[in-house]
């Protein structure tokens, strides 16, 4: 086995601690070629698609990539900004703000972000942290609800990278935070702020990313954790069972996925006489193609075409202060025991970094 080049070892060198925020990923550009590269990496992951490899290779290269890449590129182009991919922009801001929030809480840590598919890749980020002297690394997924297709896939990529490393760092993994009090409270505040401006809907739809039903039957915890998030959020909002609906979006292929599906759900509600509908996506902590295009454009059109009159998409948590505080608390809970506390002088420097980060986020259109 060929090992990666190690940084020069120095006795007595102070080991650093890092937090890596990992999101799913995004193409480098809204072009057919870039989307094709992204989909090829994403859909070849054995955690994502469990079809036997020879059969799936033929389907992927013979059907999906040739036809889906161009279609998806148009969708990405519809949400792309002058600064790039919304998902990447929000994840980058969150990582920067997280460093400041942790600094305010007294922790001296490096904070980086990585993408499971696309760039910056997990191996590149981990190797950079090693070069920087980080010997303790906390992996923080951008997925509140655990699934083998997301959180466990991160682990696979990390494990594969460290097979090439002689001197591994100490690793910790956050599995989930679907029922974390700060996360639920941040969702509640986001929805309440929206309602204060736009009024309350007749029905609230909580749309989570879908998953093949077979994965649930094989033991994936995702479905149950989505429903627990929804129940806790509804309780916090004071909603009754008839006030909200849980649904699942982004179905791929012909196999049965978790139901009810989001698009048919909103069409059914419109045909039943619901005129005002709000949709929130609690499983996404940053706005992306699935929220900005699929929900805010496609599902909106479905609802209005079916007879609905008003459709509101409630944005993801993104860089909201309540969410960034909650994310810092989640990270802090998993940093316990590591020597991350900083001196008063360094703490003041961290506070200044936090102020600068928030000002930069606000300049770029964030909510921090």
Around Cβ 169, how many Cβ atoms within 10 Å?
18
Instruction: Tell me the Ramachandran region of residue 238: left when phi exceeds 0, alpha when psi lies from -120 to 50, beta otherwise.
Output: left
56 belongs to a structural domain: yes
| Closest-CA residue to 229 (of 266, 283, 193, 273) | 283
Each as own residue / partner, the long-range contacts of residues 79-82 (CB below 8 Å, 24 or more positions apart, any chain) are 79/288, 79/289, 79/292, 79/293, 80/30
Strands 276-280 and 203-209: parallel
Tell me: do 234 and 166 sit in the same domain: no
Around Cβ 82, how many Cβ atoms within 10 Å?
4
Please compute the mean of the pLDDT values over residues 51-63 and round it to a whole number.
96
* Non-local CB neighbours of 252 within 8 Å, separated by 6+ positions: 210
Tell me: do 223 and 294 sit in the same domain: yes
Residues flagged as binding site for Fe(2+):
209, 290
Confidence tier at 367 by pLDDT (50, 70, 90): very low
| Closest-CA residue to 117 (of 32, 31, 24) | 24
- Is the pTM here over 0.85, yes or no? yes
Tell me which of 39-43, 158-162, 267-271, 342-346 is least confident.
342-346
User: Which pLDDT tens digit goes with each residue over 305-350?
Assistant: 999 999 999 999 999 999 999 999 999 999 999 999 876 555 565 5
Tell me: do 269 and 190 sit in the same domain: yes
Encoded tokens for 56: 């799936």
| Closest-CA residue to 168 (of 116, 130, 131) | 130
pLDDT at residue 305 in the model? 98
Around Cβ 55, how many Cβ atoms within 10 Å?
9
Strands 203-209 and 244-249: parallel
Residues flagged as binding site:
209, 290
Tell me: do 34 and 50 sit in the same domain: yes
pLDDT of 143 over the 80 cut: yes
Encoded tokens for 261: 């599906």
Tell me: do 36 and 157 sit in the same domain: yes
192 belongs to a structural domain: yes
SS3 356: helix
* Cα 283 to Cα 225: distance, rounded to the nearest angstrom: 10
Confidence tier at 106 by pLDDT (50, 70, 90): very high
Tell me: do 153 and 185 sit in the same domain: no
Confidence tier at 185 by pLDDT (50, 70, 90): very high
Average pLDDT score over the chain: 94
Tell me: do 242 and 332 sit in the same domain: no
* Cα 137 to Cα 16: distance, rounded to the nearest angstrom: 9
- CATH code where residue 248 lies: 3.40.50.1400
Encoded tokens for 133: 């002297």
Contact 23, 87 (CB under 8 A): yes
205 belongs to a structural domain: yes
Write the DSSP assignment of 290-322 as a string of letters.
Answer: IIIIIIIIIIHHHHHHTT--EEEEEPP-TT-HH
90 belongs to a structural domain: yes
Give phi and psi for 356, each to the nearest 5.
-65, -40
Contact 231, 285 (CB under 8 A): no
Please compute the mean of the pLDDT values over residues 159-164 and round it to a whole number.
96
Range of the domain at 172: 16-177+320-363
Tell me: do 147 and 187 sit in the same domain: no
pLDDT at residue 359 in the model? 72
Confidence tier at 368 by pLDDT (50, 70, 90): very low
Tell me: do 166 and 199 sit in the same domain: no
| Closest-CA residue to 282 (of 209, 210, 219, 350) | 209
Where is the domain boundary, 314, 329, 354?
A: 314
Tell me: do 219 and 160 sit in the same domain: no
23 belongs to a structural domain: yes
Tell me: do 30 and 46 sit in the same domain: yes
68 belongs to a structural domain: yes
- For residues 256-295, one letter each, b for 16 or more C-beta atoms within 10 angstroms of the residue's C-beta and e for the rest, the string is ebbeebbbebbbebbeeebeebbbbbbbbbbbbbbbbbbb
Tell me: do 220 and 297 sit in the same domain: yes
67 belongs to a structural domain: yes
How many domains is the chain built from?
2
5 belongs to a structural domain: no
């Amino acid at each position: 086995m060929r090992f990666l080049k190690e940084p020069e070892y120095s006795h007595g060198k102070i080991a650093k601690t890092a937090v890596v925020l990992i999101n799913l990923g995004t193409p480098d550009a809204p072009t057919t070629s870039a989307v094709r590269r992204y989909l090829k990496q994403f859909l070849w992951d054995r955690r994502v698609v469990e079809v036997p490899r020879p059969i799936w290779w033929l389907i992927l290269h013979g059907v999906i990539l040739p036809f889906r890449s161009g279609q998806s590129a148009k969708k990405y182009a519809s949400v792309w900004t002058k600064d790039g991919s919304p998902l990447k922009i929000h994840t980058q801001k969150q990582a920067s703000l997280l460093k400041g929030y942790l600094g305010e809480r007294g922790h001296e840590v490096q904070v980086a972000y990585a993408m499971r598919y696309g760039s910056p890749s997990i191996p590149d980020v981990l190797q950079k942290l090693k070069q920087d002297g980080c010997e303790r690394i906390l992996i923080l997924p951008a997925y509140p609800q655990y699934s083998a297709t997301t959180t466990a896939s991160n682990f696979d990529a990390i494990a594969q990278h460290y097979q090439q490393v002689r001197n591994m760092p100490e690793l910790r993994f956050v599995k989930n935070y679907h029922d974390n009090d700060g996360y639920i409270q941040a969702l509640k505040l986001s929805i309440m702020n929206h309602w204060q401006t736009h009024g309350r809907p007749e029905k609230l739809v909580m749309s989570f990313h879908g998953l093949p039903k077979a994965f649930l039957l094989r033991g994936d915890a995702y479905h149950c954790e989505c429903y627990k998030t929804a129940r806790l959020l509804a309780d916090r909002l004071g909603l009754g069972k008839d006030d909200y609906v849980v649904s699942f979006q982004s179905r791929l292929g012909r196999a049965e996925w978790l139901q009810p599906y989001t698009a048919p759900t909103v069409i059914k509600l419109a045909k039943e006489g619901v005129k005002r509908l709000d949709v929130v996506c609690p499983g996404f902590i940053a706005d992306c193609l699935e929220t900005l295009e699929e929900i805010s454009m496609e599902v909106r059109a479905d609802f209005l075409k079916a007879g609905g009159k008003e459709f509101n998409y409630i944005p993801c948590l993104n860089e909201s202060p309540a969410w960034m505080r909650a994310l810092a608390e989640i990270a802090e809970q998993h940093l316990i025991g590591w020597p991350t506390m900083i001196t008063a002088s360094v703490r003041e420097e961290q506070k200044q970094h936090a102020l600068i980060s928030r000002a930069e986020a606000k300049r770029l259109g964030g909510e921090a």
